[in-house]
């Protein structure tokens, strides 16, 4: 089946630094990938839709300058959390749509900002 | 906008008990419906899906039927196991602004005790 690889699975960083999270579709091409954020005991909230070769579409309330998304190829999308602060600590998950299997999710990245 | 409502947990059951997790939705048009499962420390995995009214999705003993008349997609399993302990998310996918957008419910934590 379709597989999406997400790295790193967890990261701890100091406040004020930037963190990059990668999302790769391993055996299919994904023209569109999605980035979600999950707060403890809450559902997944869509942050942005990443389109290959064009600018990402951000959901209302998501700071595009803080959460930089790059979708440079059909198999790779990256999310960079810039100048991270403790309130950015969360679980971030990417997904991609593969026609035969629907939406496939990465394993997620737990970000802790100290 | 689209929304998914599911029962809040945690749901605690004894092994071999019958499971029902309710899910209802509101959406314009004809969405596809999904159940995802999230095991501790992992990302989401697609459990089952249904793409049109009266379709039944099934996998690993879990079932859910797309009921358009009641806008529901309840998850059921006849006999749960300890290994089924996880968080279950009901979700819908519908067209929004030229692409498919996935909306999740809050998630229901299931705890199965021996």
pLDDT along chain B (114 residues), means of 10: 87 97 91 91 86 95 96 97 95 75 88 96
Nearest to B50 by CA among B21, B73, B28: B73
Nearest CA in chain A to B92: A103
Cα-based angle B103, B77, A93 (whole degrees, multiple of 5) = 30
Q: Are B44 and A43 in contact (CB < 8 Å)? A: no
What does the pLDDT read at residue A100?
59
């Amino acid at each position: 089946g379709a597989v999406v690889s997400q790295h790193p699975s967890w990261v701890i960083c100091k406040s004020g630094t930037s963190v990059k999270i990668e999302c790769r579709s391993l055996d299919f091409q994904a023209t569109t990938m999605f980035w979600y954020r999950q707060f403890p005991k809450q559902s997944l909230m869509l942050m942005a839709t990443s389109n290959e070769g064009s600018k990402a579409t951000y959901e209302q309330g998501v700071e595009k300058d803080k959460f930089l998304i790059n979708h440079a190829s059909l198999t790779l999308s990256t999310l960079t959390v810039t100048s991270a602060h403790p309130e950015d600590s969360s679980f971030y998950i990417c997904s991609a749509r593969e026609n035969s299997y629907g939406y496939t999710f990465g394993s997620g990245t737990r970000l802790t900002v100290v | 906008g689209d929304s998914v409502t599911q029962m809040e947990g945690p749901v605690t059951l004894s092994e071999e008990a019958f499971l029902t997790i309710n899910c209802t939705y509101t959406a314009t048009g004809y969405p596809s419906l999904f159940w995802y499962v999230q095991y501790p420390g992992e990302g989401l995995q697609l459990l089952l899906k249904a793409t049109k009214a009266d379709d039944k999705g099934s996998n690993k003993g879990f079932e859910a039927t797309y009921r358009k008349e009641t806008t529901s997609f309840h998850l059921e399993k006849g006999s749960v196991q300890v290994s089924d302990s996880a968080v279950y998310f009901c979700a819908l996918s519908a067209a929004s602004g030229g692409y498919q957008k996935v909306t999740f419910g809050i998630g229901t934590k299931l705890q199965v005790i021996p």
